[in-house]
Amino acid sequence: MNEVPQTTPADDALLAEARSAAAQAYAPYSQFHVGAALRTREGALFTGANVENASYPLGVCAERTVLARAASEGVRPGDVAAVAITASPCGGCRQWLLEFRVERVLFDHDGGVEIRSAQELLPHAFVLDE
């Protein structure tokens, strides 16, 4: 059996922020409310929720909302300590989490909490080689 990673008090606090953020979701079509919370290495906190649109593909997931909010305030790849999400991140969001090099991604899954790095969530990811 793989060892199940344990959440820290900081993880639990971030998960609680994500669960609170889910209440702000705009999800009139799916009714699927997702929240995300991001903590930077300096301790700044950002939250986000999914925002749907009548043109379905234009909807934005909670993870991308929170990463865009943080990036808009100057957060850059390597600045993010952890992101907590109330659902398993979709493939597109895994690419965003990887872009920001998030080392600790926590998400509700199967009645428990998964803790993974963005790299673990997206092996063999697309990256631009320079």
Catalytic residue at 63? yes
How many residues bind Zn ion (CB under 5 A)? The answer is 3
Residue 51 DSSP one-character state: B
Termini Cα distance of the chain: 39
93 makes contact with Zn ion (CB under 5 A)? yes
Site string for Zn ion, 38-67 (x = CB under 5 A): -----------------------x------
Q: According to the binding rule CB under 5 A, does residue 32 interact with Zn ion?
A: no
Among 78, 72, 12, 8, CA closest to 40 = 78
Q: Are 81 and 40 in contact (CB under 8 A)?
A: yes
Q: Which of 16, 45, 90, 125 binds Zn ion (CB under 5 A)?
A: 90
Mapped onto helix, strand or coil, the DSSP state of residue 88 is coil
* Enzyme catalytic residues: 63
The residues that touch Zn ion, with contacts defined as CB under 5 A, are 61, 90, 93
